[in-house]
Structure 1
Amino acid sequence: MQIETETRPDHFKGPVTVGDYVLKSKLGEGSFCTVWKAEHRLSGQEVALKQVYPSRLNRQLRNCFDCELNFLSSVNHPNIVRLFDVFRAEGCIFLVLEFCAGGSLASYLRHRGRVQEQIVRGFMQQLGAAMEILNSHHIIHRDLKPENILLSVPDDDAVLKISDFGLSRYVHPSDYAETVCGTALYMAPEVLQFQRYDEKVDMWSLGAILFELLNGYPPFRGRTNVQLLQNIKSCKRLPFSQLILPALDPDCVDMCSRLLSINPADRLSFNEFYRHIFLSREGVAT
């Protein structure tokens, strides 16, 4: 689901209230949910209200939704979007979530283009801090992408927050997942090849996000998933922009290349990523 620009539905003739919240505008929608910007009718607190349609959830999506609820209910971390409340109304389930005024990282990239390496380091430190929580709970997000990373404010010093755990899943360290899901441009090759996989699919996604932050475009493209996979497999060297490559920290290039290793066995694990010298050299995670 993409949480992007705000649009006010044409059918809104006046204030629409759901539970204790007044709907202000639509932030985004997916196949089984809609996200609204809303305001608590008494306190005035702005929130993101995720409206989930249970009738549209198959067994696998229901399991993912249960995982999302259980995980978000159990964590309170600055780099993971907060869940304040859950309630039922009009046959739907509503998740009351933290509203992030800075929009998504995808929107940030569209407006800023490629990002300076020092800012990228800070962003990746924050994502690492969030992924440490997922890792400790044995949660695979399975849809990490710029659209699902939100900013507290639309500035370079924003707090980044991982959101939309609608495809997330608990996977025991000795087990694997098999369901093909996610967004193709950020999907690990083992998923594209219908192979079983583990938490390293999220590491690939982080590598794709890191590459896009540095270059302003994703590492691999393709008109179809088959072509995308072919382009990944035929790649001998990541297509870094020659405008930035000479000035990039070699440790940054190393981390990106190792996150985007086609063979999961060669790919950085979470611990290897989080302890990588590129992240540890300056500063700590927010």
Structure 2
Amino acid sequence: MAVFHFCWWLLLACSSSTMAADITFPQTIEVDLIFPHNDTYAPVPFMPFVIAIQNFRSTGMILLNLAYNFSAAANPGNPIFSNSKQFQSDDPDYFDKDDTGFVLSYASETNNVEKAWLFSWELEIANCTRSMEHPELNLVHVSRTSQRRQVYFTTKHGAQQPNLMAATQEGTCGNRSSSGYAINITEMIYNIPEGQYPNDGSECPVISDTPPTPNPCGVRMNNDTASQLLYSIDTEACFWSNDVSHCPLGTGGMSQESVSRRTVQLSASGLMWAVTMGWLIYMSTI
């Protein structure tokens, strides 16, 4: 069975209403694929996938949704993994002092396999425009804007090891501009009628039609941060893995009993996530 597990440690704790009150405009949010690049890497047991979101604390206002796909390059229509996540929280998988959130994931299908691969991601955001009908009611039109990015990479024995710190350094980071997307929030429309915006929000973002040029070099990672991210990925991967030979000490494989126990522990957060996603799906159909 294919093993590809995303680290969902996000907590649905903050609404856009509480965040927007302390934010001035315009605001720029940027989503960048930090790793991998269009390059060749050693076929490691757990290939890391790292996405950075600059100005992460502003993402709740635009109801940022990220969809991920991982597949063999020769068969992109049959993804090994496909999932999506709605961000409405200030708690990414890892958060640094520069207000950058990191989303962490991994694939084990690359282990000891020489092959070409494809990792793609698509972001979707909410955008509002003022309605000219009955301006006294402060009505808005809500639309969804999406952008897709992808990267091809290969695994080959003897190639370089994945290096997150090197991927963010000068001379390398600029090569990722095609794998990023920037969003400019020009203003918020306040006090909109109940039910106009998902989650009964009373504030609605206005997104510029001309996106800023991405600046992936705005994300810099030192050795300590890179090590923490890789350790988090390895620990999570090893928790679910049956092969613990490559795992950090104290982590690793799960018996059927521990799998069942972990499922029960995750049920509460999973229910909250499902309710949120259900509401968003419902809103998109009406």
Q: Name the TM tier (shorter chain).
A: under 0.3
By relative contact order (CA 8 Å, sep 6+), the higher-ranking structure is: 2
TM-score of the pair, normalised by structure 2? 0.23
TM-score of the pair, normalised by structure 1? 0.23
Higher helix content, 1 or 2: 1
Larger Rg: 2
Higher strand content, 1 or 2: 2
